[in-house]
Structure 1
Amino acid sequence: MLRLFAVFALLGSLIPAANAQDALRSECLAMANAPPRATPVGLRRVAAKGKAEEVAITYAGHSTYTIDTPGGLRIATDYNGAYRTGRLPDIVTMNRAHSTHYSLFPDPKIAHVLHGWGDDGKPAQIAERIGDVYVRNVTTDIRRTYGDYSGGDMIKDGNSIFIFEVAGLCIGHLGHLHHQLDETHFAAIGRLDIVMVPIDGTYTMSLDGVSEITRRLRASVVLPMHRFATPLDEFIRRIGQQFEVDERTERTLKISRDTLPATPTVIILSGV
């Protein structure tokens, strides 16, 4: 117990005060200091038949994945309204780097529209329990100029990494990431079991840069996105031999805490 309080104290010193209480509510932050693959018994979600609950993750297009939760919610990442798979999502997250990552006029039937930027000029601060999912964000900076991929002037906290905690899984979406992450970012992200990574190599980050972040996060499952013409082999070569590769013929991955691969694995869904 003392060790757990020490972890929360450290997180409180590394992340903004407004987010410090998230450490007390977030399963992923609580698990960040646990041994690999260890999940506190109280945090494991188990279905009626004794098996861990599954989520279904579907590649919709570009940087949009949908996540269907055991409780019946549907989440869509970097939602712009163009990439749809079946019914309308209940929760959408957006980044404002380009118009292909957000919509200012989403369908009014979408109950929860979460912006990765602050509408009041302040950093977005999202920490919401919606049904069986806990959604939170970690802000990142974005380039001010669309065509400048070498760095350029940056808008502080203009985008967000979104983390979805559901069924004992910690699922992260890196969004339209434009820069390396520092220790404060990694501390605020915590543990990830599944991470969605942009691999275009130009519009977001270089392949070397995003590969370094992927290795550092060391999630059990890596889901590439935002690929354009990037050869998948190039990304796989850069992240290193410690990652297995699993190329699927279907667009949907059904996965639970119990079925995470033992070795970190890049899973390439159809359409990527």
Structure 2
Amino acid sequence: MKLTYIGHACFLVQSQAGLRILLDPYQPYAFGGRMGLKPFYEKVDIVVSTHQHHDHFHVDEAFGNPVVVTTPATAMGIEFRGIKLPHDQSEGAERGFVTGFWFTVDGVTIFHPGDLGRPLNGEERAFLGHLDVVLVPCGGTFTMGPKEAAFMVSNMKPPIAIPMHYAWPSVALPLLPLDDFLNEVPKYEIIENQPFEVKEIPTTPQIYVLYPQH
């Protein structure tokens, strides 16, 4: 399984057989141009969206004719399981809810929680079961902040945690920088080359930093 961080909350997952799954694609130049990441114009097989905000849901004609997953479903032999999660720290009272999705590709189980507003609780972690890769929003305002994200990673101890949804020069949204999260964790490794291939699952928890490619 190969993983590319496109930017913001968008990742491209590629299977060994060539299946391409795009997670939470953003609408280019959304919010009056504040979403300034370069557009992603490649063919994909499946688009998965945790919620229909402009920075998490966009199906471009350049994608071809992908299957679009917004609720739990099975697509092209992949089971996309879902969990309802709050988009804020007030259990959905401010921004509603998102659907966190987890699925398995090439034996690797990936979890994308979308704009998760607070750390997962014990009941939610138990419902999710074993996860190999957890994508962790950490920029605050629309998601949990750096301290909460670091706390969740410490509690969950996933084999691989990858931060996302943080401040970036081309994203003019009120988000905190990645360094605020990295300052809260004991260690991390920067992955210079993408796509990042998960060949083996680490035996101890790791935090890998993938910089946006767009």
Q: TM-score range by the shorter chain?
A: 0.7 to 0.9
- 1:3-32 Cα distance to aligned partner (Å, 9 max, x none): xxxxxxxxxxxxxxxxxxxxxxxxxxxxxx
Give the drift of 1:171: 0.8
Where do 5+ consecutive residues of structure 2 fail to align?
29-37, 169-175
Segments ≥4 residues shifted beyond 4 Å: 83-86, 149-152
Identity of aligned residues (%): 26
Q: How does 1:70-219 map to 2 (within 5 A)?
A: 70-82=16-28, 87-96=42-51, 98-103=53-58, 106-107=60-61, 109-115=64-70, 124=71, 126-131=72-77, 133-143=78-88, 153-154=93-94, 158-219=97-158
CA distance in 1, matches of 2:164, 2:177: 12
Provide the alpha-carbon RMSD of the alignment: 2.6
Q: Does 1:263 align with 2:209?
A: no
Secondary structure of 1:238 counterpart:
coil
Whether the 8 Å CA contact 2:138–2:166 is kept in 1: the answer is: yes
Aligned length: 196
Where do 5+ consecutive residues of structure 1 fail to align?
1-54, 116-123, 144-148
Secondary structure of 1:159 counterpart:
strand
Structure number with higher helix proportion: 1
Q: Which residue of 2 aligns with 1:252?
A: 195
CA distance in 2, matches of 1:210, 1:136: 22
Give the drift of 1:95: 3.0
Higher relative contact order at CA 8 Å, sep ≥6: structure 1 or structure 2? 2
TM-score by length of 1: 0.63
Whether the 8 Å CA contact 1:252–1:269 is kept in 2: the answer is: no
TM-score by length of 2: 0.79
Q: Does 1:66 align with 2:66?
A: no
